[in-house]
Homo-oligomer: A and B are copies of this chain.
Amino acid sequence: MRESQRRPTIADVARKAGVSKTTVSRFLSDQAEYISEETYRKIEQAIQALHYEPSQMARGLKAKQSRLIGILVADIANPFTTAILRGAEDVCHRHHYSLLVCNSDNDPIKEQNYIRTLRSHHIDGLILHTTGANQSVLLALQKEKTPVVLLDREVAGMHVDLVGMDNAQATYDALNYLVCQGYNSIAYVTAPTADISTRMERVQAFQSFMADRKLQHTSIVFQIEGKASALPDFLTTFMEREDAHAKAIFTGNAVILLQVALAMQQLGYRVPDDVALISFDDPDWAQIVGITTVSQSAYEMGVLAAERLVARLGGDAGDPQRLYVTSTLQERDSTPKVAKG
């Protein structure tokens, strides 16, 4: 009885085909020109019979490349992330790279561990949706010329390709729209900004817009901390505040949007009767519920990031590029025009 435990190696194929390992290797590298018909056929058969598949590990050890691309994301449960993943996966698959997916959970420590792990797996490149706090570990990667593409968020001091969005502009556009619709009392609800560049940019844009329009005193920024947050309290306070103007809530991403929508529902406030609602990200259900959103094409971001990386892996040594996808305002029922009082 044949012992079929061990994976067949190139040596097994060579033996079965009655040729040398070198010849089999040539076959595998598509250097068929130097192989006789007869030999070619024999090798082909041996491979078939043994179900042989070259070991990427052994290959990589020689070639110093793994055909593995790491993608380290901050929150795998976020639909924004999922869409990115899908875009990146499509491109990588097309170029015969596989994706090593890691989830930092927005935790810098976990992120750091993962960067180490990815490095140990000898990834050819990294797509990084960062927590923002790990410049130092990334240095090692850069020294070894492992290309890194930043997704959405900046890492201070890292000059590499980045695929993102003009957050200030998108924030202005959304706020401008809200004001035009008649909302002057606006709350911006964001996840903790911490070291995350995009969140900070949006908050800053919010504040500077409000200052410009002399609306500082009717507008407010609220940062959600941890799981059991003070969100309901904040919302109640905001809603009960006496205001001369119509109220609107602007959420920083789809996860926050969900939390806010749920909390409002539980508190008994109606959208858009009691308050308007607008959000960054455009989860598929926003369409059903009818929520106005600032949509950034996450799928396209994933595609662009992966393509940038593949270009680097193909030898592109140009200056770091900054690619911005455009954001689109998806106008829906949650932000109706307010009748002037």
Taking Cβ atoms with an 8 Å cutoff, the residues of A that contact B are 4-7, 51, 53-58, 60-61, 66, 68, 76-77, 79, 82-83, 85-86, 89, 93, 96, 98-103, 110, 116-122, 139-140, 143-145, 258, 261-262, 265, 283-285, 287-289
Contacts and interface: CB of A to CB of B under 8 A. Distances in A.
Contact of A285 (B96, B139, B258): B258
Nearest to A103: B89
Contact of A89 (B53, B76, B261, B284): B76
Nearest to A121: B56
Given A6-B144, A77-B82, A288 B121 contact: no
A134 to B, nearest CB: 13
**Copies of the protein in its oligomer:** 2
20 contacts: A53-B120, A55-B120, A57-B57, A57-B61, A57-B66, A57-B122, A58-B61, A61-B61, A79-B79, A85-B101, A93-B110, A99-B100, A99-B101, A100-B100, A100-B101, A101-B101, A258-B284, A258-B285, A265-B288, A289-B289
A76 B5 CA distance: 32
Contacts of A56: 120-122
Contact of A143 (B4, B103, B119, B262): B4
A288 B329 CA distance: 22
Given A5-B144, A57-B61, 20 more contacts: A7-B144, A51-B140, A55-B120, A56-B120, A57-B60, A57-B121, A68-B121, A77-B82, A77-B83, A79-B82, A89-B102, A98-B118, A99-B102, A258-B288, A262-B287, A283-B285, A285-B285, A285-B288, A285-B289, A288-B289
A28 to B, nearest CB: 11
A200 to B, nearest CB: 26
Q: What 8 A-B pairs are tightest by C-beta distance, nearest first?
A: A285-B285, A101-B101, A51-B140, A56-B120, A4-B143, A56-B121, A53-B120, A57-B60
Contacts of A96: 117
Contacts of A143: 4-5, 51
A261 B285 CA distance: 10
Nearest to A52: B140
Most buried by B among A56, A68, A99, A265: A56
Given A120-B53, A122-B55, A262-B287, A98 B98 contact: no
A9 B86 CA distance: 35
A78 to B, nearest CB: 9
A74 to B, nearest CB: 13
